[in-house]
Chains A and B, each alone.
Chain A
């Protein structure tokens, strides 16, 4: 019971950090991937959401994200990048905003956006935090556990072209399980093996 209460508190705290639009005085600037843990099957895909939170500060109320260079590290024997979809809270839909990603290096997905809108326009849309992008990975491995993390070289700029310190990052863990059909095959194989063994046992007898 105690454990459940503790978990609930942690979840509430995490929600406060990650949920877009929820103001939190002097919260830490955090980049995070969600879901934190997921279970997927081989040959499927997994979509992760990259979010930022902690933009609102009591001492500097209109801070916004004006640009970033973020690298996601992953194990290329488990995952490959299928697609990247940016949110609109940095570009604001402006045609002269900069958006780019590079997945040519196995194990490192580089994402970058630079806003062209004003700081106040950005802040009005972004609030305390928002979804930066959703990234879909192909699952290459048949079983095991792997993680996606935010590289420490990642950087962020505020709307006034000042470097911002990224206080913390949270990654995602992906557990890969065999497909149901694989289980079915296994069951069939075990059954056959059982029948065979029984027949051999009968003949021997």
Chain B
């Protein structure tokens, strides 16, 4: 059966070879997500006016070094709703503006209060929400004016605030120019009168475009007085319109503060309390979405029908990635990403949970941030975190994050790929994909040059024992995707996300296979299945990244008869299949010719010469602790400074 499947793909390859061999690929770009920047405890000298300034600065520093184009804050940008706190939050955004990075916040329940019109304050402090003009915080807002407001309103700890603003001041404005990130702004107009004064929804719920993505920021609150109501139903026609717009960019990302299905919180994006409201059918540890199923179905269906994958939220002070299905139609679903806490408080999920949710992963009690990388039709999400608290509750001192970040998880999707859910103990063999979809949509994805390939996992089982905190088994959300053949590959490039688990890069042992055009290839040892080294960007044998217990062994037998022991790899020229048995979270696979990888010893970037650029690649690999034989230039079995010395002694003359 598997053989037939892959053989069909060889036929598909021949059809696709008529496509141009010149790949056109847009440059990848990134945006960051920060969530729930609240300081609840007494000011520790770095957290003025309920704003965790030190945490924010460290995360902003990470965003800057990661090279993001913009940052989305998914609500609760402060803890205590006050004009002064909102102003403090705005001032501690300046380091992003100084680096030319856009910042777009959405309100959460902590911005809502009878004592402050945060709707007006948001539009004033973050004027970019009204047209994209960043770095335009009103110059009249200074630490002095903030302290005056604080004093005039007799807020607590005036002295503490003054000291903190003096000793830990907001970043100085070094970039005097306003700049625009994104375009095509849009706002819902229905029920505009629900907001105070003359404001419409503009500046609160906001949508805009940047390159291949449309951003839709949803403010569910209509007034200054209620933090538990929802106006999302009133906004749904605008949301649906923005999603179904024929001129929409490839991706659509939706952001809100509250979740469809939270963990600790049962208040939600659609109002009310899940599990408590009449009609929810709560029974023991489970509940349904019955009380709000019409609104939820309209929202999820609009996303699903228009190929919008991610709803990115906050509110729950822990990381959670799950699939949420419509309560009316389980075949309609989205992925909900609850963003980790950037606060000093951390929550534990509690029952009842909903059967409409399938959990992929969960991470508690860590401060975290997210980098979303958009690469044409492909999106990769990297979640970074630092442990902050051993249990639920609050910390009293700002954690040191810089230098301690760890990449905890990577997941993603491609619009030209497929989505699979592999439950605990399930087999991975259902994971298979072809370039048909990518080739069919060549024009809209702006990528050409496919030769036609097929990717499949030939064996392997989800042996994960991880569960949610409440003991529910996790289901792997696995996505595949494609990019066209490049000058250094023989096949198209296959992508896969979702195999690894929180905090690790080791996966279950799986056998992966990729088809390739065999024209002109007569020696099975002249090609192999490779993966891209994330450090150097070079293609290396896929089994070279295997972790513990791997024995490298080549085979040229029929791929259906090939061994499944870790480290085995081979090429079946009769069927045009290269395969490898791996256990590392390799993101990309391609078939590579040895002829293109052994041109000049030490020429790590394959540009035909050995020079400082190769040394830079090697040094990065050494620093990252690589043990790949690609870098063992002096052949002593180690990757270290002796290889660097070897390389510099072999510079091209």
Contacting B at CB under 8 A, from A20-34, are: none
Q: Is the CB of A67 within 8 A of B403?
A: no
- With a cutoff of 8 Å between Cβ atoms, the chain A residues found around residue B646 in the complex are 161
Q: Is the CB of A106 within 8 A of B619?
A: no
Q: Mark A154-178, 1 if CB is under 8 A from B, else 0.
A: 0111111111100000000000000
- With a cutoff of 8 Å between Cβ atoms, the chain A residues found around residue B641 in the complex are 66-69, 112, 114, 155-157, 163
Bound-state CA distance A66–B633 (Å) is 15
Known A-B contacts A102-B623, A112-B619; the reply to A67 vs B644 at CB < 8 A is yes
**B653 → A minimal CB distance (Å):** 12
Q: Is the CB of A106 within 8 A of B642?
A: no
Q: Is the CB of B612 within 8 A of A162?
A: no
Contacting A at CB under 8 A, from B266-306, are: none
Within 8 Å of chain B (Cβ to Cβ): is A145? no
Q: Is the CB of B651 within 8 A of A98?
A: no
Q: Which residue of B lies closest to A163 (CB)?
A: B642
Within 8 Å of chain A (Cβ to Cβ): is B109? no
Known A-B contacts A69-B622, A96-B612, A114-B648; the reply to A106 vs B404 at CB < 8 A is yes
Q: Which residue of B lies closest to A94 (CB)?
A: B648
Within 8 Å of chain A (Cβ to Cβ): is B645? yes
30 contacts between A and B (CB under 8 A): A66-B641, A66-B642, A67-B641, A69-B623, A69-B640, A69-B641, A76-B400, A76-B403, A77-B400, A96-B612, A97-B648, A100-B619, A102-B623, A104-B403, A106-B400, A106-B404, A110-B623, A112-B622, A114-B641, A153-B625, A155-B642, A157-B642, A157-B643, A158-B645, A160-B645, A161-B633, A161-B649, A162-B634, A163-B634, A163-B636
**B148 → A minimal CB distance (Å):** 32
- With a cutoff of 8 Å between Cβ atoms, the chain A residues found around residue B552 in the complex are none
Contact of B643 among A105, A156, A159, A161 (CB under 8 A): A161
- With a cutoff of 8 Å between Cβ atoms, the chain A residues found around residue B633 in the complex are 161
Contact of A96 among B403, B634, B651 (CB under 8 A): B651
- With a cutoff of 8 Å between Cβ atoms, the chain B residues found around residue A105 in the complex are 403
Interface centre among A69, A160, A161 (most CB of B within 10 A): A161
Number of B residues whose C-beta is below 8 Å from A?
Answer: 25
Contacting B at CB under 8 A, from A112-170, are: 112, 114-116, 153, 155-164
Known A-B contacts A98-B612, A116-B648; the reply to A161 vs B642 at CB < 8 A is yes
- Taking Cβ atoms with an 8 Å cutoff, the residues of B that contact A are 65, 400, 402-404, 612, 615, 619, 622-623, 625, 633-634, 636, 638, 640-646, 648-649, 651
Number of A residues whose C-beta is below 8 Å from B?
Answer: 32
Bound-state CA distance A158–B649 (Å) is 12
Known A-B contacts: A69-B622, A69-B644, A106-B400. Give 11 more (CB < 8 A): A66-B641, A67-B642, A106-B402, A106-B403, A114-B644, A114-B645, A155-B638, A155-B641, A155-B642, A158-B642, A161-B643
Within 8 Å of chain B (Cβ to Cβ): is A107? yes
Known A-B contacts A96-B612, A106-B403, A106-B404; the reply to A157 vs B640 at CB < 8 A is yes
**B646 → A minimal CB distance (Å):** 4
Bound-state CA distance A102–B616 (Å) is 14
- With a cutoff of 8 Å between Cβ atoms, the chain A residues found around residue B642 in the complex are 66-67, 155, 157-158, 161-164
- With a cutoff of 8 Å between Cβ atoms, the chain B residues found around residue A96 in the complex are 612, 648, 651
**A94 → B minimal CB distance (Å):** 10
Q: Is the CB of B645 within 8 A of A67?
A: yes
Known A-B contacts A114-B645, A114-B648; the reply to A98 vs B636 at CB < 8 A is no
**B608 → A minimal CB distance (Å):** 19
- With a cutoff of 8 Å between Cβ atoms, the chain A residues found around residue B400 in the complex are 76-77, 106
Q: Which residue of A lies closest to B61 (CB)?
A: A104
Contact of A161 among B403, B404, B625, B634 (CB under 8 A): B634
- With a cutoff of 8 Å between Cβ atoms, the chain A residues found around residue B643 in the complex are 157, 161
Q: Is the CB of B644 within 8 A of A163?
A: no
Q: Which residue of B lies closest to A164 (CB)?
A: B642
Q: Which residue of B lies closest to A66 (CB)?
A: B645
Bound-state CA distance A107–B649 (Å) is 33
Q: Which residue of A lies closest to B638 (CB)?
A: A163
Q: Which residue of A lies closest to B643 (CB)?
A: A161
Q: Which residue of B lies closest to A102 (CB)?
A: B623
- With a cutoff of 8 Å between Cβ atoms, the chain A residues found around residue B619 in the complex are 98, 100, 112, 114
Bound-state CA distance A96–B616 (Å) is 12
Bound-state CA distance A11–B75 (Å) is 62
Q: Mark A86-113, 1 if CB is under 8 A from B, else 0.
A: 0000000000111010101111101010
- With a cutoff of 8 Å between Cβ atoms, the chain A residues found around residue B636 in the complex are 162-163
**B383 → A minimal CB distance (Å):** 19
Bound-state CA distance A115–B642 (Å) is 11
- With a cutoff of 8 Å between Cβ atoms, the chain A residues found around residue B404 in the complex are 106
Contact of B644 among A98, A107, A160 (CB under 8 A): A98
Q: Which residue of A lies closest to B622 (CB)?
A: A69
Bound-state CA distance A159–B641 (Å) is 11
Q: Which residue of B lies closest to A100 (CB)?
A: B619
**A103 → B minimal CB distance (Å):** 9
Bound-state CA distance A105–B386 (Å) is 13
Q: Which residue of A lies closest to B618 (CB)?
A: A114
Of all A-B residue pairs in the complex, the 6 with the closest CB atoms, nearest first, are: A106-B403, A157-B642, A161-B646, A67-B641, A155-B640, A66-B645
Bound-state CA distance A158–B641 (Å) is 9
**B648 → A minimal CB distance (Å):** 5
Q: Is the CB of A114 within 8 A of B615?
A: yes
Bound-state CA distance A163–B633 (Å) is 12
Q: Is the CB of B623 within 8 A of A98?
A: no
Bound-state CA distance A97–B648 (Å) is 8
Bound-state CA distance A112–B623 (Å) is 9
Known A-B contacts A69-B640, A98-B615, A157-B642; the reply to A115 vs B402 at CB < 8 A is no
Bound-state CA distance A114–B633 (Å) is 15
Q: Is the CB of B403 within 8 A of A115?
A: no
Bound-state CA distance A158–B644 (Å) is 11
Bound-state CA distance A145–B634 (Å) is 42
**A150 → B minimal CB distance (Å):** 14
- With a cutoff of 8 Å between Cβ atoms, the chain B residues found around residue A110 in the complex are 623
**A107 → B minimal CB distance (Å):** 7
- With a cutoff of 8 Å between Cβ atoms, the chain B residues found around residue A98 in the complex are 612, 615, 619, 644, 648
**A82 → B minimal CB distance (Å):** 16
Q: Is the CB of B640 within 8 A of A163?
A: yes
Interface centre among A69, A77, A104 (most CB of B within 10 A): A69
**A78 → B minimal CB distance (Å):** 13
**B403 → A minimal CB distance (Å):** 3
**A92 → B minimal CB distance (Å):** 12
- With a cutoff of 8 Å between Cβ atoms, the chain B residues found around residue A156 in the complex are 641
- With a cutoff of 8 Å between Cβ atoms, the chain B residues found around residue A97 in the complex are 648
Bound-state CA distance A104–B402 (Å) is 8
Q: Is the CB of B403 within 8 A of A107?
A: yes
Bound-state CA distance A104–B641 (Å) is 21
**B602 → A minimal CB distance (Å):** 11
Q: Mark A37-68, 1 if CB is under 8 A from B, else 0.
A: 00000000000000000000000000000111
Contacting B at CB under 8 A, from A159-205, are: 159-164
- With a cutoff of 8 Å between Cβ atoms, the chain A residues found around residue B645 in the complex are 66-67, 114-115, 157-161
Q: Is the CB of A115 within 8 A of B640?
A: no
Q: Which residue of B lies closest to A77 (CB)?
A: B400
Bound-state CA distance A137–B623 (Å) is 22
- With a cutoff of 8 Å between Cβ atoms, the chain B residues found around residue A116 in the complex are 648, 651
Q: Which residue of B lies closest to A116 (CB)?
A: B648
**A108 → B minimal CB distance (Å):** 8
